[in-house]
A and B are shown apart, each in its own frame.
Chain A
Amino acid sequence: MAIFGLWVINKAGGLVYQRNFADGLAQLTSNEYLVLAGTLHGIHAITSRLSPTGSSSGAQVIEGESFKMTILLTATGTKFVLLTSLTETTADPVLQKVYEVYADAVMKNPFHTPEMPIRSEGFDSRITALIGSGLP
């Protein structure tokens, strides 16, 4: 049970927040994270159109052998992605809480520019309080 990392992807597919909490995944450069986030954004757009029966919310969980990523798509198109171990069961409630923290500490902060990278101490500290600073 571990939470490895959190990404926030804006509605255009840009990575506006990325943070690691536990070791266990490959260390990437910030550029690689940007590319991955953009790719995930594209994959998500494809999956949301594949549904045979009407509209779809797109991919919600992508699982690998050693980890899974849980995706929360909000009404405004912002995506929250949580990278966790396979046995982690709290991913969905944690993402809901992250969304709440985002709404409070980012959207209500007059010094944040929408769609731009999140540089808000309040968001950082509240995420730390929610998920922890590094240890599972």
Chain B
Amino acid sequence: MAEELQKVHLYYDEINKVKVIENNVYKETQDLQENCKDYENKVRDFGNIIGSLLDMLNKLGENVEKQKMAAIGATNLLKSIEKDRESEQARLQAEISDKSLILEQLDSEYDALQILDATQSETVEYLTQLR
């Protein structure tokens, strides 16, 4: 009887229920359904993971952008400091040259006064010797 039923594509299962599809096929369909569910879950998980990754990457990007700006700012600051230092150096150099000019003046004045002192003491000595 079962075979006749098979001919009209009706089957018995283990608990003798009448089915329109073959037992094996039914089983495989069931498996497929489960697998599909599994797959769906996994895809959802993957979606979640990717979402969080994107979030993270976005955050990272923002951070990098921020750091980049900070770095550019720091470089500019450094450059300006460099320039400041240069102008400060130039200023100090000018001051040094001014001061050294004054020093030169005073040096030569001192030398001249020493020579004068020497001549005068020579004269004094000469006159004392005469006495």
State whether these chains interact: no
